[in-house]
Amino acid sequence: MIRSQNQIKIESSSSSMSDLVFLLLIFFMITSTLISPNAVKLLLPESDSKTMAKQNVTVYIDDNFNYYVGDKLVDVVELQQYIMNGIEGGIDDACVVLRADKTVPVQYVVNVIDVVNKMNSESGTKHKVILATSPKQ
């Protein structure tokens, strides 16, 4: 009986695979912090407040006084309908987060608050408007 002296062993080292997974994990952690959560670029007013709320709808007012619900440009007349569409059905106490550029006059902010108050009085809900700010430097 003749036996082969050279036997092929099928093995793989898993240490290189764990290095690759670790490098991918670091890559995704670093790139995920670079993604901006704002759909519209704004300079938010500064505040020391650390109040956090669950946001159901986000309304943006940019430095050109344009209203956005999410990333959709809307007119002030259409604002109520888009906010109602953004709030999931059945929620009576949703939070509308208002992200207004710090150069926006107060009247534009009041317009959004009036729309939410009108929605509350018409439907008997208790939706809130929260003004988003950036931390003080």
Q: Does 3 have pLDDT greater than 70? A: no
- Mean residue pLDDT across the chain: 79
Weakest mean pLDDT among 26-40, 75-89, 100-114, 120-134: 26-40
What pLDDT is recorded for position 42?
52
- 55 pLDDT band (50/70/90 cuts)? low
- How far is C-alpha 133 from the chain's CA centre? 14
- 133 pLDDT band (50/70/90 cuts)? confident
Average pLDDT over residues 24-33: 81
Weakest mean pLDDT among 24-38, 41-55, 71-85: 41-55
Chain segment 32-48, per-residue pLDDT in tens: 766 555 555 555 556 56
DSSP character for 54? -
Contact 126, 92 (CB under 8 A): yes
For residues 114 and 132, which has the higher predicted lDDT (pLDDT)? 114
Q: What is the pTM of this model?
A: 0.60
